[in-house]
Amino acid sequence: MRKVIVTGATGFIGNHLCGHLKKKGCYVIAIGLRDKADGCWDQYHSIDLSNLTVPSDLFTDIDTLFHLAGKAHAPSEISATADKEYDRINYRVTLSLLEQCKIKNVRSFVLFSTVGVFGEIADKDCFDDSSPANPVTPYAVSKFHSEEALITGEYVAHPVCLRLSMVYGPGSKGNLDRMIAAIKAGWFPPLQNIKNRRSMVHVDDVIRVAYLSSLSDIAKGKRYIVSDDMYYSTGQIYSRVCKALKRKTLPFSIPIFILRILAFWGDIYGFLFRRRFPLNSDSLRKLTTSQCHDNTTTMRELGYNIKNNVLDFIDRTV
């Protein structure tokens, strides 16, 4: 039986991944921060990986480590120590796990990274696997450093980096879910005229790609973009949610300059109360600008076809 470790197992993606691995017949060792947790795994260990100490016996006879744990991107965070925290919790933890994998001869290490390593993008182009990395945020920098350490092949024979676009699906609490909730509540501004292009991916496709990449010989040493086959505009999603709710879209849109004023006050709110306001400069940027990613290489090399898209997900769940 193939033994695997999943870090961040109690998180949104980790929980789905553990269930998929169990269905594939794997013996799953889950690592999370919660003291106790129920899930689709054979062992659960509550470990704070940021302490850089993991019992070495956990790595005995492990085939693959799927590394999801880390400090997530927090745009509203304002801290002079943010860079050091991302470095310690994301990059240094990855190095610590890699060292253990090397000692115990773990075959494969699948790192869940981010398309944020590419930085920002012009509205008319999409990143693909040949695009150079240009990480800007502390989160993206820490993830890129982790990629660089892994991809050398110094630690495991089969390293893989998965650069995820925005992940959605059952149990998610991301931007798409917040947008849908806001439209349902009736306070999301009408933005149907915004025709930007953004990439997303369903959690089921993410975990299938992760599983395939851990086994496929061609994936060895690769950095794969993981997104679905479509690009979505804010206006398109807004209109689709309204349709699913059987609610008419308004015949006008809120001017961008008003949204910028609201986002400015949202930034001030975040600074004063250390809490994310529903609309701030970061969320407005994501609502109005483009950032798309081409998954062609990933799908071709892994022989996988994306099963889901955002519009169908909205129709099924709203």
What would the pLDDT profile of 111-169 be if each residue is shown by its tens digit?
999 999 999 775 557 899 889 999 988 999 999 999 999 999 899 999 999 999 999 99
What local confidence, expressed as pLDDT, does residue 36 receive?
Answer: 85
Q: pTM of the entire structure?
A: 0.92
What local confidence, expressed as pLDDT, does residue 79 receive?
Answer: 54
What local confidence, expressed as pLDDT, does residue 74 receive?
Answer: 63
Only one residue has tokens 């994501």, namely 286
- By residue count, the chain amounts to 318
Domains and CATH numbers, the chain: 3-168+200-230 (3.40.50.720)
Residue of 246 and 209 predicted with greater confidence: 209
Q: Is the dihedral of CA 277, 278, 279, 283 positive or negative?
A: positive
107 in helix, strand or coil? Answer: coil
CA atoms within 13 A on the CB side of 300: 5
pLDDT tens digit sequence for 249-296: 777 778 888 888 888 998 998 888 888 777 788 888 888 888 899 999
Q: What's the CA gap between 11 and 178, in Å, rounded?
A: 18
Q: Is the pLDDT of residue 90 over 90?
A: yes
Q: What's the CA gap between 56 and 82, in Å, rounded?
A: 29
Only one residue has tokens 């390293």, namely 159
What local confidence, expressed as pLDDT, does residue 285 receive?
Answer: 81
